Amino acid sequence: MLVDTEEAIEFLMKSYVELGKDAAAIESRIDVVHQEIAQTGTYTQTLEELTIGAKMAWRNSNRCVGRLFWDRIQVVDARAAVTVSEIRDALFEHIGKATNGGQIRPFITIFKPGSDGPRIWNHQLIRYAGYASENGDIIGDPASVSFTEVCEGLGWRGAHGEFDILPLVIQESADAAPTVIEIPPELVLEVPIAHPDFPQVAELGLRWYAVPIISEMKLEIGGITYQAAPFNGWYMETEIGARNFADEGRYNKLAAVAEKLGLNTKRLDSLWKDRALVELNVAVLDSYHKAKVQIVDHHTAARQFGQFETNEQAAGREVTGEWAWLIPPVSPATTHMFHQRYPNKIVKPNFFYQEAPFERTEITPVKRGGCPFH
């Protein structure tokens, strides 16, 4: 694919100014890129360009409330990894370093660019399987049913439990067959969910993994597209407690939690859903804290986003955002974002969803999207 020269030059000028480069350095680099695109149709980004581009992509992610830490992400250049084993090793290393024993570190691992580069079929590197039965019941995560079927079609066999870790599916190039690779159990840190005041909640056997590593999105920097660039931040508790566990199209555990709390679920005006939702998020936060796994609550995250806004304004940059995703799904009116509006303008570099390399099965109305770093 021919690189848009104007997009490449715009990125170079913007990023090099942020890096403190002088006019001569900027002009020299632009000349080199011009010549390379003219000769080959594309250009190779330097490690410095790759690094600042990945950081800018997080800063420009409209759905992410955790952007205060955009410049702290650690960039791993894996463009030389081309075989399945090399890609696998880089992904395993990412999981281990990002998890960091629970002290989560933001990481991005960037593989070879272009349409002939590798693809990672997983939505996240770590994700639970979902099994659909003939009668319509689902065991596990309904959001993973299609991908679980793909994995089983490729020879993987899950235990058909509620929290089975899916394997990685790696395609080293567009014309290569996908390869299924199990993740070593010792790499996956999970947190069992219990409530500090209602021990009976632990009877539900809920658990969740420590770090969300998005792996299906493409990264676009200066006209270059990286189809495989898995990245992570850390969890905000509502993503687990108010969405993964509570959404009807996901684990749908709200009624079960309410029962454990002894709430009256026969009347909606008892507000049992609200009370169960809050306590479920309390359980998630307390469980992660006790397991010494990094997590942020939605009030702290909102305050951090306010600091991000202040920083960006001081730097002369407009703060873009998708309001419906910036506000938390629990008590949104208690945050300042609820009372503000943001231009939902797409600025590059950025992350974008791309067409899945496999056919999806529609089981339940599971919404895709959300903050890529949470």
Residue 262: band (very low, low, confident or very high) from pLDDT cuts 50, 70, 90 = very high
Checking if the pLDDT of 374 tops 60, the result is no
Residue ranges of the domains in the chain? 44-324+332-340
Residue 136: band (very low, low, confident or very high) from pLDDT cuts 50, 70, 90 = confident
Q: Catalytic residue among 234, 309, 322, 371, which?
A: 234
Per residue in 314-337, pLDDT (tens digit) is: 999 999 999 999 999 999 999 999
Give pLDDT, residue 360: 74
Sign of the Cα torsion 260, 262, 266, 270 reads negative
Per residue in 236-248, pLDDT (tens digit) is: 999 999 999 999 9
Q: Catalytic residue among 29, 59, 63, 67, which?
A: 67
Give pLDDT, residue 108: 98
Chain centroid offset of residue 140 CA = 20
Is there a catalytic annotation at residue 371?
no
Residue 60: band (very low, low, confident or very high) from pLDDT cuts 50, 70, 90 = very high
Checking if the pLDDT of 361 tops 70, the result is no
Per residue in 271-305, pLDDT (tens digit) is: 999 999 999 999 999 999 999 999 999 999 999 99
Residue 365: band (very low, low, confident or very high) from pLDDT cuts 50, 70, 90 = very low
For 331-336, the CB contacts below 8 A with 24+ separation are 331/298, 334/299, 335/298, 335/299, 335/302, 336/302, 336/306
Per residue in 82-131, pLDDT (tens digit) is: 999 999 999 999 999 999 999 999 999 999 999 999 999 999 999 999 99
Give pLDDT, residue 373: 57
Checking if the pLDDT of 220 tops 80, the result is yes
**What is the distance in angstroms between the CA of the first residue and the CA of the last residue of the chain?**
31
Q: Which residues are annotated as a binding site for heme?
A: 64
Full-model pTM: 0.95
Residue 371: band (very low, low, confident or very high) from pLDDT cuts 50, 70, 90 = low
Is there a catalytic annotation at residue 239?
yes
- Evaluate whether 228 touches 111 at the Cβ level (below 8 Å): yes
d(CA 161, CA 131): 9
Sign of the Cα torsion 93, 94, 97, 103 reads negative
Per residue in 71-94, pLDDT (tens digit) is: 999 999 999 999 999 999 999 999
The CA-atom distances, in angstroms, between 279 and each of 25, 191, 261, 292 are 56, 17, 9, 20
Give pLDDT, residue 362: 56
3-state secondary structure 2-43: CCCHHHHHHHHHHHHHHCCCCHHHHHHHHHHHHHHHHHHCCC
Mean pLDDT score, 159-168? 98
Q: Which residues are annotated as a binding site?
A: 64
Give pLDDT, residue 364: 47
Percent of the chain with pLDDT over 90: 94
Q: Catalytic residue among 172, 239, 279, 322, which?
A: 239
Tell me which of 48-57, 58-67, 142-151, 359-368 is least confident: 359-368
**Element holding 95 (H helix, E strand):** helix 84-99
Give pLDDT, residue 114: 96
Q: Catalytic residue among 58, 64, 119, 272, which?
A: 64
**Residue reference for tokens 């969803």:** 353
Checking if the pLDDT of 368 tops 70, the result is no
Mean pLDDT score, 356-372? 63
